[in-house]
Structure formats: structure tokens, C-alpha cells
Amino acid sequence: MSTDSTKRNITVGVFVLLGIIIFIAGIFVLGGQQKRFTKSIKIIAVFNDVGGLKAGNNVWFSGVKIGTVKRISFYGTAQVEVDMNIEESSQQFIRKDANATISSDGLIGNKIVVITGGTTSHPEVEDGDRLKTVAALSSDQILETLQENNNNLLRVTKDFKELVGNLRKGKGTVGAVLTDSIVADNFKRAMRNLERASDNTVNLTGSVSKFASRLNTPGSLANQLVTDTTVFRSLKRSATRFESAMTSADQSINTLSRTAENVNKASEKLNNTNSPLGVLLTDGETANKLRTTINNLSTGTELLNEDLKAAQNNFLLRGFFKKKAKAEEKARADSLKAVQQQLPDSTASKP
């Protein structure tokens, strides 16, 4: 009887003790994870827009978590002050001239504060320091640009299609076509659009390459996710897609700049009243150039289209495109087809 109750007491003791050990172990693992027990310093950054950053989000430096966001409060009229706790051990790596950016650890991941730059010529940050901030291109903006860019190209294609169509239909004489101010205007507009598309693409390429490189930065969470398990293959695939988007965007820049050049030359010739109009159109070189321009343009558009489609198939971007692309998609495909059909005709119509 008394041995029974001793046994029971021991059982209860062990039972309770183990439960408490689980609890305390949980607290300690969590503490280690969140580095709550390491010493930290506070630094501040003031942003115009924190894009949904919350207290508790991580702070990264060179792809390594070095702290957390402590507090977010309004600053002045519309700016946002972000207080961050930074581990004391990483203090030495962050210089007073470093920049803080709002970013995310994946296209749909958590918001993070990324600290970049800084030179050793500046002293290391101290408790209470305020970092400069850089507004980053958000993933939304990247997609926005991509879309806009494509629209521009679409417009260019349309313009050329019109132009070519007119040429083919042989509205009056060839000379009439080219002296026709509407046609000339169309041509100029096409050129302007081309230039804009080309600029945008340069911008876009920068953003995409930044994003892709982040995915591949060893040690970053995104990279860990990517290399960790097979599950992340799709994420990795999207990274490569972005990379190929980047390279093809590069290609299209080249194509576009070449095109722009050609068009410039062509319009120069048009504007040159000294040169007879007939020369322009009978000049085989110029005609060829015009043809390659149109060809290049259509391949450039196609490439970008492909990328867009690839991106659309990617889960990360699905929602974005569902909203926007539906109607445009059709129009774009139609116009492309039209251009391609008309191209051989247009060259054939060369006298």
C-alpha cells in the first residue's frame, strides 16, 4: 500500500517533470532560434513605404539573418520609422553608410529589411543609428513593368502592321504612301514606342537579375529553400525562368536597339528631302533593313511573350495575371499572327 503510493508519487513526479522539460526545452530552442538571449543593438531606418512589414520580421545582411524588426511607427507626416534589433555580433559588419531596403524572402514570402552596402571607410553602426533607405522595386512593380513593356511592344507591332498593311495595299503610289503625313506620323510613333520599350526592358532586366541572384545567393533563406528539398524544385524552376527571362530580355534589348537604329536611319532618309522618295523604296538595302526590322521586332515580341507565358504558368505570378492578362492576351496573339502573315507579303510587294 505505501509502496504503491510511493510508486504513484514517483510516476506523477516523472510525468510532471517531463512535461515541464518539454516546455522549457521548447522555450530554449525558440530562444536560440530567435536569438532573444543574445545581446542586440537598436538601429533605425525611415521608409516612405514599408509594404506590409511587421514587427518580428527579419533583418538580413548579405543574406544572413542578423536581427528582427522591433517596432514600426509613423514618422513625420507619412513616413514610417522602423526600429530594428541587430545582434551585437554583426554590428562590426554594418557600416554607418549602409542602406536599408524593404524586400521579401520570396515573391510571396515574408517582408524583410535588407541592409546592403556600406564601406569600411565609415565606422561601424552604433546603438540608435539611423540608416539611409533605398526604395526597392517590389515584385508587383516588376510585373507591372513587364506588362507595360509588352504592351508597348504590342503597340509597336500594331503600328508596323498598319504601316506594312498600307504599303501592301499600295494605297496610291509608293511615294504617296511615304509622303502621306499619317503614315509618317505612324512611323515616328512606332519609333518612340520602340525607344520606350527598350528603356523599360533595361530596367526590368535589372530587377529580374537582382531577384534571380537573390534566389541563388548561397546561405540566404530563399537559397536554402531552393536547395533544401525536392519540394523546392518548382521555386528553383521559377528562378531559372527568371534568369532566362533576363537573358531573353537582354536579347530583346539588342534587337530593339538594332531596330531603333534601323528605324532612325529610315526616318532620316524620309526626312531628308534631298533624297528622292523613290530611292528609299527602290533602294534594296533600305527595304531589306525595313524587313529585318520588322522581323526582329516580331521575334523580340515573341520572346517576351514566351517569357510572360512562362511566368504566367508559374504559381507565384498566377494571381497577378489572372486579373490583367485575360483580355489582352487574345488581342496580342491576333496582332502577332497578323504581322507574321503580312510580313512575307510586304517584302514581296517590293517593286
Partner 1 sequence: MFLALADVFAFISRFFRELFLPPYEFKEIIRQCYEVGFRSLLLISTTGFITGMVFTNQSRPSLAEFGATSWLPSLIAIAIVRALGPLVTALIAAGKVGSSIGAEIGSMNVTEQIDAMEVSGTNPFKFLVVSRVLATSITIPILTMYTIFVALIGGFLNVNMTEQTSFTSYIQEVFGAISYVDIFASSLKSIVFGFTIGMVGCYKGYNSSKGTEGVGKAANAAVVTSMFLVFIEELLSLQIVSSFR
CA angle 274, 276, 281 (to 5 degrees): 135
Helices (H) and strands (E) in the chain, counts: 9, 7
Q: How far is the CB of 114 from partner 1 (least distance, A)?
A: 18
Greatest Cα pair distance in the chain: 122
Query: 234 or 271: whose CB is closer to partner 1?
Result: 234
Q: Collapse the DSSP code of 234 into the 3-class scheme (helix H, G, I; strand E, B; otherwise coil) and give the result.
A: helix
Q: Kindly tell me which of 93 and 232 has the beta carbon lying closer to partner 1.
A: 232
| Closer CB to partner 1, 33 or 121, in the complex | 33
Nearest approach, Cβ of 229 to partner 1 (angstroms)? 5
Sign of CA dihedral 188, 192, 195, 201: negative
Grid cell listed for 283? 533602294
Of 144, 270, 254, 278, nearest in space to 202 by CA: 254
Minimum CB distance to partner 1, residue 231 (Å): 5
Q: Point out which residues bind partner 1 (CB under 8 A).
A: 5, 8-9, 11-12, 15-16, 18-20, 22-23, 26-27, 29-30, 33-34, 36, 56, 224-225, 228-232, 234-235, 315-316
CB of 220 to partner 1, least distance (A): 14
Q: Rounded to the nearest whole angstrom, what is the least distance from the CB of residue 315 to partner 1 in the complex?
A: 5
Q: CB-wise, 121 or 230, nearer to partner 1?
A: 230
Q: Measured from the CB atom, is 140 or 334 closer to partner 1? A: 140
Other residues' Cβ atoms within 10 Å of the Cβ of residue 87: 18
Nearer to partner 1, 26 or 52 (CB): 26
Minimum CB distance to partner 1, residue 238 (Å): 8
Using CA atoms, how far apart are residues 41 and 86, in angstroms rounded to an integer?
5
Minimal distance in Å, beta carbon 22 to partner 1?
4
Three-state SS sequence of 303-347: HHHHHHHHHHHCHHHHHHHHHHHHHHHHHHHHHHHHHHHHHHHHH
Residue number with CB closer to partner 1 (19 or 276): 19
Sign of dihedral through CA atoms 168, 173, 174, 178? negative
Name residues whose C-beta falls within 8 Å of residue 206's C-beta, 6 or more positions apart in sequence: none
